[in-house]
Amino acid sequence: MLNDVTFGQYYPAKSFVHALDPRTKLLFLIAFIVAIFIADTFYGMILCALALMVIVIAARVPFGSVLRSVKGILFILILTSVLNLFFHGGEHLLTPENWVIKIYREAIVYTVFLLLRLFLLVMASAILTLTTTPVRLTDGIESLLTPLKWIKFPVHELALIMSIALRFIPTLIDETNRIIAAQKARGADFESGNIIKRIKSVVPILIPLLISAFRRAEELGDAMDARCYSGSKNRTKYKKLIFGWRDLVAAIVCAALIAGVVLFNIYAAQIFPQIYEYIVIS
Amino acid sequence: MEEKINGASPLNENAENAAPADKTAAAAEDCAVKFDGVTFSYAEGSAPALKNVSLTVKKGEFLAIIGHNGSGKSTLARLINGLLLPDSGKVTVFGLDTSEGKNPLKIRRRAGIVFQNPDNQMVASIIEDDVAFGPENLGVEREEIGRRIDWALKAVGMEAYRTGTPSRLSGGQKQRIAIAGVLAIKPDIIILDESTAMLDPRGRREVMGVVSKLNKEEGLTAILITHFMEEALLADRTIVMNRGEIVMQGTPSDIFLHSERLEAYNLSLPRIGRICKALQKSGVGVADCLSPEALAEEIAQEVEKLGAARRSLPYIPAPSGNSSHEWDIDVKDLTFTYSAKSPFASKALKGINLHIDEGEFFGIIGHTGSGKSTLVQHLNALIKLPQANKKYRAKKPKKGQPAPVLPHISVGQFNLADKKCDFLKLRESVGMVFQYPEYQLFAETVSADVAFGLKNFRKGITPEQTEAAVRDALEMVGLSYEEVKDKSPFDLSGGQKRRVAIAGVIVTRPHILILDEPAAGLDPLGKKEIMELLHKIHREWCSTVIVVSHDMDEIADNCTKAAVISDGEVADCASPRELFRKADELTSLGLDVPLTAKACARLKELGIEIDTDFTCEDFADKVISLFEGGKQDA
């Protein structure tokens, strides 16, 4: 039997990365993002990319599904790279003087950097959602937000809202599919016609869905009352996230990565002075 | 009020005997729940949902409350734990008045409610987290919560699912999780508010088994609210409610002795009671029985007594009057996999072959998740065959391998494997009513909702034609057109809404009508009316009616032929008479058999063979003719 909710991107497998504490993964992701943004040498970038490769292998998710996550932002990638390529200034002009379009060497270096950054960023986030169920993710976020209780931030309520939302997403998806099928059986057409017609055709789905959501909310409220819910006061929590040896390993890897990136930033000029100008963003 | 109850009740002797006992045992702890002249209405000035109700529930008692939809039985449950407060009168739980200050919270620790829809009472996506919700609210220590989860899940037999997710469970299993969630609070009283209404028979048995066990072994006071008479038989005491009043009370067998009265309260006798009454009416002296096995033994005794009775009866098949095959349905090699090519792929259909002749009242039987709903959605191309998709390209078979078998479906002259098939026309001819169709209503008025399908199928239909068809459809389902046409469908009662939804499908007069659990969640009278309506439609103009059901008695009573779907395959397809004779096979698939089949099986063991089509009426007739034969021989 599969253990968790099956919507979203989650890819079930048994791996080192799957077994990590969700908080570790969240913090690692943040650290990784910091690393790729402070890296201003290609060596640092390659180090990040290598780390990501190792993580993908350790996560035992198909590389294709990680790459697929980039598809969603393909348009943004192309747009930003084109803009940067043409409008980023610099000193070393590559195109002939009389051309309208001017491309500088710095622009190319910068664009490649930017693309690498975005790629790594999206793929790293994809690994988080591929290896962590929404439920574990929520638990992790709640746990990380706990310190905010001191400034009266309603952490508990937020966590409960997220938990209930996650719980009802599959139920409401089922319900939506059933309503669509029922209206189709009555001859409804959701696939053809102009925009106005299509918007109109959503009404027979939306209204029953809303009514059902309200009915469910009301019943859930009663059920929560009947199970003695009275707000976050004096409430205990059963589930506890516990860091294990894996998390320690992850923390060490993370520290090594950041250290490597910083070292390359400082010493790149000394190590490879002859190609220095090609490997850093000016 | 007490007199009124007694006056109305044929069981006044019992009630009076019980009353002094209650008073002597006045210790608050012994009396779990006490209602004192309670009246309640939902809105000021509206008819009261409960009228001057008085009642006591003793600690450790198993009480069943039965009544038709809207009889006030669910209101009663909500009054017990303070979700609702009485307008007048007093409700006390272990001596605590529900309307005083913080008492409701204290009471909810001691009286838990399990509601009707298992989906709508779970807060977490992981089962142990959900069970932990109650104790967390009470501030119980972490380790103790862990122990309570262990205990509660064990008590409902779901310990293997502890870290699983509820979305993959059957209704019965979900409801058992909901019970565990209530148990984890460690209540003294458990109230089941129609908790079995949405379940299939197996799920109902699971839940009832758990409740009986908790009552007997853990000493929990159980209050069961239901409209299934069969379930009330398990209780120590039964209360019958009608229009907000208690009209009968006593042991279950006491209640069922007064069947005529039950029918006056929109409740029906359990099927077994109907058979007993029919036999008694014809002079077969069986006692009132509560189980089919006991009934079989009673009949056998009678046969012994009369001595000369014939021991077996031949079956005379009813002539089938249909020779047209214009609207036959043919399904070949149908396979279907949900979320194919994903890690969550699940095979729903594994090669279905099925032929449904025109004119049948056809039953499709199977568990939740057996694939029966997936199957019927193929019949009007809501799920299209792979070849019928626009993008489909036939794959060339690999060398040395036989070409893959493609599924094929034809309905009348429609070939569903053909891309050019007119699917809109097909859906007009094959009407489909989904489970709980009232949840799909959306329009502002009843007539607009009913006309929705008509306008989709017949573009350019005149308003006059539409009105006539809508009027026809509404009157067909037993509603008055003038009365309901301008009402909002959401202002109607549950049963009426379902009728409107059915009208919205039959408005186009389909040749084939498919209904998924048409009677689910209705009270016995509502069920009976829906089935009668379907027979009327079948008789008057609809050539084939297909009913998907998990209620074996419903199939036995109504269908001319039925297919058993088990684990994505057709396990059997035959008339009820042949199907239910093989009761063992059905039981080995984990399916139920009608109670008439159970009685027949027991009779066979006792040396009496009855060949019946397993409807209650035919079974009773056959038993009676057993005795007539005996008399003739003598």
HEC letters along B370-437: CCHHHHHHHHCCCCCCHHHCCCCCCCCCCCCCCCCCCCEEEECCEECCCCCCCHHHHHHHEEEECCCH
pLDDT score of B311 more than 60: no
Q: Do B133 and A183 touch (CB under 8 A)?
A: no
A167 contact residues in B (CB cutoff 8 A): 122-125
Decide if pLDDT at B178 tops 90.
Answer: yes
Are A163 and B121 in contact (CB < 8 Å)? no
Selected residue with higher pLDDT from B10 and B397: B397
In the structure, what pLDDT confidence band is assigned to residue B501 with cuts at 50, 70 and 90?
very high
* Cα A14 to chain centroid, rounded: 20
Task: Please give the torsion angle defined by the CA atoms of residues B227, B230, B232 and B234, in that order, rounded to the nearest 10 degrees.
Answer: -150
Q: Is the pLDDT of residue A36 over 50?
A: yes
Alpha carbon distance, N-terminus to C-terminus of chain A: 54
> Helix, strand, or coil here: B350?
strand
B344 contacts A235? CB cut-off 8 A: no
How far apart are the C-alpha atoms of A205 and A195, rounded to whole Å? 16
Q: Predicted confidence band at A273 (pLDDT cuts at 50, 70, 90)?
A: low
Residue B552: what pLDDT? 85
Enter the tokens of residue A136. Answer: 């574990």
User: Chain A closest CA to B443's CA: distance in Å?
Assistant: 7
- Chain B residues touching residue A191 (CB < 8 angstroms): none
Which residue from B284, B300, B381 is spatially nearest to B334, judged by alpha carbons?
A: B381
At B500 the pLDDT is 93
CA terminus-to-terminus distance, chain B: 56
Burial class of B93 by CB neighbour count within 10 A (0 to 12, 13 to 18, 19+): buried
In this prediction, what percent of chain B has a pLDDT beyond 90?
24
Residues of B within 8 A of A212 (CB-CB) are: 439
Tell whether the model's pLDDT for residue A40 goes beyond 90.
no
Residues of chain A contacting residue B505, judged by C-beta atoms under 8 Å apart: 185-186
Given an 8 Å threshold on Cβ–Cβ distance, is A185 in contact with B132? no
Q: What is the mean pLDDT of residues B455-465?
A: 88
Complex ipTM tops 0.95: no
B8 has pLDDT over 50: no
Give the chain B residue whose CA is nearest to the CA of A172.
Answer: B119
Q: What is the pLDDT of residue A3?
A: 33
CA angle at residue B139 from B135 to B140, to 5 degrees?
Answer: 60
Euclidean distance between CA atoms B164 and B427, whole angstroms: 39
Residue A111 pLDDT exceeds 80: yes
- Entry pTM: 0.82
How far is B279 from B257, CA to CA, in rounded Å? 14
pLDDT band at residue A276 using 50, 70 and 90 as cut-offs: low
Residue A278 near residue A109 (C-beta atoms within 8 A): yes
Q: Name the average pLDDT for chain A.
A: 85
Please judge whether A181 and B434 are an interchain contact, meaning their C-beta atoms are less than 8 angstroms apart.
yes
- Give the span between the Cα atoms of B459 and B462, in whole angstroms: 9
CA-based nearest distance A28→chain B, Å = 25
Contacts B165 to A, Cβ<8 Å? 2-5
**pLDDT, tens digit, for every residue of B208-245?**
999 999 999 888 999 999 887 778 888 899 999 888 88
Interchain CB distance below 8 Å, A227 and B126: no
What per-residue confidence (pLDDT) applies to B510? 92
Show residues of chain A in contact with B427, CB under 8 Å: 184-187
Quick one: pLDDT at residue A133? Answer: 83
3-state secondary structure of B571: strand
Residue A63 confidence class, pLDDT cut points 50, 70, 90: confident
Say yes or no for a CB contact (<8 Å) between B138 and A187.
no
For B508-523, give one letter per residue: b (16+ CB within 10 A) or e: bbbbbbbbbbbbbbbb
Lowest mean pLDDT among B14-28, B263-277, B572-586: B14-28
Interchain proximity A228–B139, CB inside 8 Å? no
